[in-house]
Structure 1
Amino acid sequence: MKGKVGSLAAPGGPLNYGAKTSLALVLAVLAMLCAPTMAQDSATGSEISQSHGETMSVPGDFAGIQEAIDAASPGDLIVVDGGIYRENVNVTKRLTLRGLNMPVVDAGENGSAIILSADGIVLEGFSLKNSGVGTAQPAGITVRSDDNAILNNTVTDSWNGISLWDSKGNVVRDNHVSYNTWAGIYLENSTNNVIANNNFSSNAGRGLIRSGFAGIHLWNSSHNTIIENVVKDNPHFGIELDSSGENIIAENDFRQNQGVGIRLWDSNNNSISGNRALDNQLSGIELQDSENNTIAGNYASGNLGRGIFLTSSQNNFIYNNYFAGNNEYDAYDDGTNAWDDGKVGNHYGDFVEGCEDEDGDGICDDAYEIFGGTNLDGHPLVRCDISLSAPKPAPQTGGGATYCVCAEGCGFASINEAIETASPGDLIEVCSGTYQETINVTKPVILRGVDTGGGMPIIDARQKGSPIKLSADGVVVEGFHVTNSSGKGVFSGSYVDAGIMVNSEGNTIRGNVATNNSYGIIVASSNNSLESNNASGNRGGILLSSIGPSDITGGNVLDGNVADDNIVGIIISFSGCNILRNNSMSGNYHNFGYDGWRDDAAATNDIDASNLVNGRRIYHLVNVYDAVIDSSSNAGTVYCIGCRNITVKDSVLEKNMDGVFLTNTSNSRIEGNVIANNTRGIHLNYHCHDNSIRSNIAINNAESGVHLHGSDDNVIERNELTESWSGIYLSNSAGNTIRTNEIRDNRNAGMSIIGSDDNAVYFNNFINNFNNILSSSSSNKWNSTEVLTYTHKGSSFDSYIGNFWTYYKGKDADGDGIGEMPYLVGADKDNYPLMKPIENYAIVSKEFGGVGVER
């Protein structure tokens, strides 16, 4: 039973939850991260601006980069214009090298493209490629000095993308490093470096060498900070620490790597916090022969092996993590380690059925046995971080003095005056009437509206703030009509007030009416209860919010609330561990959804189908496999988080932030639905792969009919995508197949594409879009991937097939239905554009199921 299981002492004391840890880390390295044109003199410790000195240009003043470096003096700026520079550059002085239009330095498969040999160099805006290979480990960028800044570069087709050797005090930020043979970034004997906000993906080798190792690899390196990087699709590990200690690994995404997301081997005293290890082929997190590491606030789900795997490892401290939806065990340990801190353990998805919580404190009543040995988690979490799952303090229940507020004849005519007089635990009863005040409740009191014959008491803020603001914990507010708050906007990032603004914890807000406010109710804190409130006729209904993605709030309970006739009904922004039951939203422009997303927070929200949008059910599925949602399900919106093999079909999904939302979901089907008047119709957000989007009608969605972000290898076919801002939106997504769709009458673009490569887009109709394609930093294929046999005007032809484009001006001299002149698509071309819409062609091919395609 709870409290009877001992725990190992935490090495170095407890660590805060990962999100808060990350915020502290960001503040700690802020000076390094916010000054890209500054470097530090290692001898004096003072910052030296790289903007002083002379400015030289390549090829204006010098034909080559090395020639300019040789002529420069310390502190000079060398500006390199776009082009290909076939040389091996060695920077031997404290200089700033700045690329314009992403100049390419091509090492010609011999040595490193650029070596930083002097301290205090700034290197930004280059494309580095084609280093040599072998035991010397050349790289796109090799660093053999200190206090350098490496910013906004692209590194490909090298042995290592970036290498740091015996190097300290460097900042490596905002780089895109992919398709390198061994590692995206490699650190050896290097200390006190910051690796932040980079993308290390698909470092899987080149040519005949396919032995790629890791996105990030540290060997014998210490006191480095690895923060907020995306590390995906690497052949062995997302990150490996080998014989490395005292490093901070925080708030990174390790996804879809072919081995382990985060691996420590013979590495001690590291902090691993706030990371996401998702859908890796082996384990999410693995420790081997490693000791005294702290693993806290991480999210490991959807891995084909274990969520976390410890072998031959001792005295590690693992708590406040979320392990669920992994193919084998959620946790395995054959050593002796601490799996809770004496108060808080971890959440295990495979312990849901065995976890009882009779006292409702968020801790399972029984210990969880860790597979592989004799370790126990004495305080396993029912679902969430304990700080977001138990009210603190409890709301007031009365027992103190009672004060009366009314227009005349009572003790007080002003609610604020009564609050100033009251003591904690007192009851303040406010009679019918209109009170033109902005109330700030700074004490734990009961504030109760009483209908004395004139209806609910009205608090009118006259657009001077929030009618009621809760600044103290443990307050009860009930029975008020709150109206006319100030503020504008309904989405995160805009300034808002609310009818009731909750900035404190453990409060109960029940039986209130909020109209004509920016938001009816905003909860920007944790562990509150909202019961039977009506937030209708505002710009926004109810918002569960936090300051931002680094400061997750949650643990709130919403039961029986109504949010009708607003712009948005109930919105969740960076908030987790909430419970929603029996809430109703109707008549809103968007009824329900997320504005501000973190999958580790969203996965902890408990939102069941008792919640309704326009009378239809919300399906909010977390780690669910093999489910079907169809017309009999009466779905209004569908969310799938960490799911597999889900079918959503034959449903009408409208007027929400997303009609269908998938994250970290695979092998699922969205087919035959009508999806209209949402912000995004069908949304695949982060690591969704091998899904099929087929035969849907997505019409008049504010942003996009189909929206893919960070999602690869999906098929989008036979859909009607019309009258939205963009028919299809692709961001950081690759390997998707988009074919046989009707993409027309979209207000901004048929397709908007940002940072997305290697997608195949063919045999679609692009008709009467404001722009057919808007493409940025992307390279895609705009015809079929193989020669197809098709019929056109009664004749049979063999050819690659492109797309039909409104206003295409080419000619078809040979009558095969394909224009002779390519159609320009951004920096790409459709070399086989169709002369007629695709319904004028029939294709017989295995790729199309062996049947003719007639629309």
Structure 2
Amino acid sequence: MAYSGLKQLFEKWNSIIKAYHSDLVSITNRNEAVEREEEITKKSVYHVPRDFPTIGEAVGKAAAGDTILLANGMYHESISIPSTKSSLRIIANGKSVILNGQGKLDTGFTLMANNIELNGIQIRDYVESGIEVTGVYGVKLIQNTIHVTKGHGIQLDQGTFSNLIWKNNVSHAYKDGIHLQSKNVWVVGNEFSHNGQNGIRIETSGNHIVENKIHSNQESGVLEDEGFNLVYKNEIVQNGNEGINLPTKLGGSMSLTNTIEKNNGNGVFVKTPGNLVIDNQISSNYLSGVLVESKLNVVELNKLIQNKNGLVMKKKATRNLVLRNLFHGNKDNHLVITNPNNTILQNAKDHSSQNARVIVVPDDFPTISEAVNAASPGDTVLVNNGLYQEEVSIPLTKSGIRLVANGDKVILDGKGKLNTAFELSANILLIQGFIIRNYVQTGIFVKGIGISMVENRIRNITDGNGIELSLAFSTLMWRNKIIDAREDGIRVKAMNNWIIDNDIFSSGGNGIQFEGNTTVGSTVTRNRIKSNAVNGIEDHAGFNFIYNNELSQNGNNGMYEVEGIGSGAVINNRVSSNIRGVTLNSVGNQVAGNQIQSHSQGGIFIHTEYNNVQNNKILINQGNGIYLTDKASNNLLLRNKLFQNAPYDMKADNKENSFIQNDCYKSDPPEICR
């Protein structure tokens, strides 16, 4: 396969990236205009039914940034929130707040304003959908229960961007549990079960499906119609068709570290090109563990156990890499290869190189660069143990190749003189298992689409960054170790990236920096980011998802949201022993479920508006547990637990914020603690 055979695919990919960026610009410009028209008023907390008999009446009275608390009870209504009501919070103040459409009303909630939060509400028996989100950003749907709608449980329409769907339970919807026509949505920690079609259906690009339980849906667990999406660490079990179904269009998605079991079709069905299926437990599916009918995919490090067939490559499957998988107990066959033009390497059960196009360094070529020059799309370059003093540049015409270290001592050494180990301008690349040290500017520099960097060790970049992304898109960084970069461990000037399970230590700047106000749409999860000289993570954009990381012993903030678009999510992180835990200098962020402790200059510092700080555990910090400056207004502080902070658990220089049910001992003013 020559590069010319990929041009049409890459043209489609580039059009999707342009549309992604266009949606970002459009929605931020449109909604900034709306927000300029809003009058900043004194914040209010309204109680339903104490202050108003219905939720709709409370919404009609409320201003942007207000909070509506719902008492236990049954509410028979359909609520629309217009664009003028941004940053409204509607929160259940009990465990039995029920919105019931009685099979007659169309939609429980229709959200047409930015940064709305719906929290803890049971939504039942609506005709169209439980919740519909249309044309806005920054919406937070948290801990809602949605049962028995005749349409979709949750529906996000076209033009919707960067929303958080967290800890909801959606079941028995007539159609999909959640239907995404939106971009950059974080669907995290939910349960989707017993829905009439798919648990999750994705019609667009750049979404993040993380740690959900997806089971017993009548069709597929996850159906993805487009591409460039992340499906990570989900339980996808006992669905009526495929576990993960990639049937049409673009590809370029990541299915990573999922448990995919007992589905009535295939575990993973891949009909699109350029996907990564890696580190999944795929077992006891009725048909194949993985079925591939497309090109340039990587199937690696999976456990394929007790399926009808382990892995099947159909006739249309070509130039795929099958690497280091475990096959065990599959009923008919472990591996079925119809088209010989695939690379099969180092899989358990002795599936050795079957008709593979593999170039070995130094056996076939003395240098990695010479091997790259000889490679064609779909080829694999195996690099044996040794010391390689070179700069490897991979141009666009070499898209679709894979560079894999064939040993644990494959070393690229710049000797303090060479600038960059790998410069990646191609698309669909895999760089795996290399030791990269002593380069001047960058360990790995990325400009392409759909590039994966896996299990590399990068050390001592003397004047730059460990990894740098510049105008890249859909980049995976997984299980890398980056130590002693002079500037940032990872510097991101790109959109829609996945930074997962890396160690980022002792950088001279930040552990991770999102530079510029359009570097949006990334998931940063399960990383250990420690002992960096400036911040653990510094985000100049917003719309990024910071989830379940360890941020400790950094020289300034654990997490710093710099002035930018805002509406980021900082969720379930362990933030400790930095100078300051979390600083919010942008608006509309969700900071929830974190443990923030042992900082010398404060746990959380808020300098802006419309942030939601909820259910955090904040302890043993000097310089206050939470501090709101005089410029901090219209923020919601809800159900946080603060103790042993000095001089105050909470201090607010501006009272125009909502303080609800926070457990703490000493505050200024005194009434903001419960």
Match of 1:339 among 274, 291, 295: 291
Number of the residue aligned with 1:710: 545
Number of the residue aligned with 1:420: none
Q: What are the Cα deviations for residues 110-164 of structure 1, in whole angstroms up to 9, with x where unaligned?
A: 44596159xx98685233333998898538xx96279977342221121139966
Number of the residue aligned with 2:518: none
Are the structure 2 counterparts of residues 822 and 83 from structure 1 closer, same or farther at C-alpha, using a change threshold of 3 Å? closer
Matched, 1:155 2:129: no
1: distance between equivalents of 2:14 and 2:161? 13
**Kept after mapping to 1: 8 A contact 2:100/2:123:** yes
- The residue type equivalent to 2:443 in the other structure is F
2: distance between equivalents of 1:374 and 1:147? 49
Residue 265 of structure 1: SS of its match in structure 2? Answer: coil
Q: What are the Cα deviations for residues 649-675 of structure 1, in whole angstroms up to 9, with x where unaligned?
A: xx6443454399x96656x877xx643
- The residue type equivalent to 1:577 in the other structure is L
Note the C-alpha offset of 1:721. Answer: 0.8
Number of the residue aligned with 1:201: 165
Match of 2:128 among 165, 173, 189: 165
Residue 302 of structure 2: SS of its match in structure 1? Answer: helix
Matched, 1:577 2:429: yes
- The residue type equivalent to 1:736 in the other structure is N
Match of 2:254 among 296, 299, 311: 299
Matched, 1:220 2:57: no
Q: What are the Cα deviations for residues 365-400 of structure 1, in whole angstroms up to 9, with x where unaligned?
A: 99997975547464696599xxxx999xxxxxxxxx
Note the C-alpha offset of 1:33. Answer: 11
Note the C-alpha offset of 1:288. Answer: 1.5
Structure 1 portions without partners, runs of 5+:
1-15, 39-50, 52-56, 61-78, 205-211, 392-477, 479-505, 511-524, 536-540, 547-551, 621-638, 786-800, 809-815, 835-855
Are the structure 2 counterparts of residues 88 and 317 from structure 1 closer, same or farther at C-alpha, using a change threshold of 3 Å? farther
Number of the residue aligned with 1:310: 263
- The residue type equivalent to 1:721 in the other structure is G
Structure 2 portions without partners, runs of 5+:
1-7, 305-309, 346-355, 359-368, 382-387, 405-410, 469-474, 516-521, 562-567, 628-643, 669-674
Number of the residue aligned with 1:592: 443
1: distance between equivalents of 2:417 and 2:146? 53
Matched, 1:675 2:507: yes
RMSD of aligned Cα (Å): 7.1
Number of the residue aligned with 1:765: 600
2: distance between equivalents of 1:185 and 1:25? 36
Are the structure 2 counterparts of residues 526 and 169 from structure 1 closer, same or farther at C-alpha, using a change threshold of 3 Å? farther
Residue 339 of structure 1: SS of its match in structure 2? Answer: strand
Note the C-alpha offset of 1:301. Answer: 1.4
Q: What are the Cα deviations for residues 733-752 of structure 1, in whole angstroms up to 9, with x where unaligned?
A: 234344444459xxxx9776
**Kept after mapping to 2: 8 A contact 1:367/1:377:** no
Note the C-alpha offset of 1:194. Answer: 2.4
TM-score after normalising by structure 2: 0.56
**Kept after mapping to 2: 8 A contact 1:803/1:833:** no
Note the C-alpha offset of 1:170. Answer: 7.9
Are the structure 2 counterparts of residues 199 and 246 from structure 1 closer, same or farther at C-alpha, using a change threshold of 3 Å? closer
Matched, 1:729 2:560: yes
- The residue type equivalent to 1:177 in the other structure is K
Report 1:57-96 matches (<5 A): 83-85=44-46, 86=48, 87=52
- The residue type equivalent to 1:761 in the other structure is I
Residue 242 of structure 1: SS of its match in structure 2? Answer: coil
Residue 160 of structure 1: SS of its match in structure 2? Answer: strand
Note the C-alpha offset of 1:818. Answer: 5.4
Are the structure 2 counterparts of residues 213 and 372 from structure 1 closer, same or farther at C-alpha, using a change threshold of 3 Å? farther
TM-score after normalising by structure 1: 0.46
**Kept after mapping to 2: 8 A contact 1:111/1:132:** no
Match of 1:654 among 477, 480, 486: 486
**Kept after mapping to 2: 8 A contact 1:287/1:313:** no
Number of the residue aligned with 1:177: 140
What is the number of equivalent residue pairs in this alignment?
545
Are the structure 2 counterparts of residues 564 and 781 from structure 1 closer, same or farther at C-alpha, using a change threshold of 3 Å? same
Note the C-alpha offset of 1:228. Answer: 2.6
Matched, 1:803 2:647: no
Match of 2:231 among 277, 281, 284: 277
Number of the residue aligned with 1:698: 533
2: distance between equivalents of 1:363 and 1:663? 21
Q: What are the Cα deviations for residues 543-567 of structure 1, in whole angstroms up to 9, with x where unaligned?
A: 9799xxxxx9764879999898899
1: distance between equivalents of 2:127 and 2:374? 55
Match of 1:323 among 268, 277, 287: 277
2: distance between equivalents of 1:708 and 1:193? 16
Report 1:13-92 matches (<5 A): 20=12, 83-85=44-46, 86=48, 87=52
1: distance between equivalents of 2:22 and 2:105? 22
Residue 143 of structure 2: SS of its match in structure 1? Answer: coil
Q: What are the Cα deviations for residues 571-603 of structure 1, in whole angstroms up to 9, with x where unaligned?
A: 668954144889887443xx23567899xx44x
**Kept after mapping to 1: 8 A contact 2:443/2:461:** yes
Q: What are the Cα deviations for residues 620-675 of structure 1, in whole angstroms up to 9, with x where unaligned?
A: 9xxxxxxxxxxxxxxxxxx99444xx998xx6443454399x96656x877xx643
Task: Among all aligned residue pairs of Structure 1 and Structure 2, give the percentage whose two residues are the same amino acid.
Answer: 8
1: distance between equivalents of 2:184 and 2:70? 26
**Kept after mapping to 2: 8 A contact 1:339/1:345:** no
**Kept after mapping to 2: 8 A contact 1:586/1:613:** yes
Are the structure 2 counterparts of residues 553 and 123 from structure 1 closer, same or farther at C-alpha, using a change threshold of 3 Å? farther
Are the structure 2 counterparts of residues 761 and 368 from structure 1 closer, same or farther at C-alpha, using a change threshold of 3 Å? closer
Q: What are the Cα deviations for residues 287-339 of structure 1, in whole angstroms up to 9, with x where unaligned?
A: 42579965463422122x23x7532579976554432212x33x653137992
Note the C-alpha offset of 1:701. Answer: 9.0
2: distance between equivalents of 1:679 and 1:314? 36
1: distance between equivalents of 2:342 and 2:28? 42
**Kept after mapping to 1: 8 A contact 2:132/2:154:** yes
Higher relative contact order by CA 8 Å / sep ≥ 6: 1 or 2?
Answer: 2
- The residue type equivalent to 1:288 in the other structure is G
- The residue type equivalent to 2:100 in the other structure is P
Number of the residue aligned with 2:639: none
Are the structure 2 counterparts of residues 163 and 543 from structure 1 closer, same or farther at C-alpha, using a change threshold of 3 Å? farther
Note the C-alpha offset of 1:104. Answer: 3.5
Residue 219 of structure 1: SS of its match in structure 2? Answer: coil
Matched, 1:254 2:206: no
Note the C-alpha offset of 1:821. Answer: 9.7
2: distance between equivalents of 1:246 and 1:728? 31
Residue 155 of structure 1: SS of its match in structure 2? Answer: strand
**Kept after mapping to 1: 8 A contact 2:444/2:466:** no
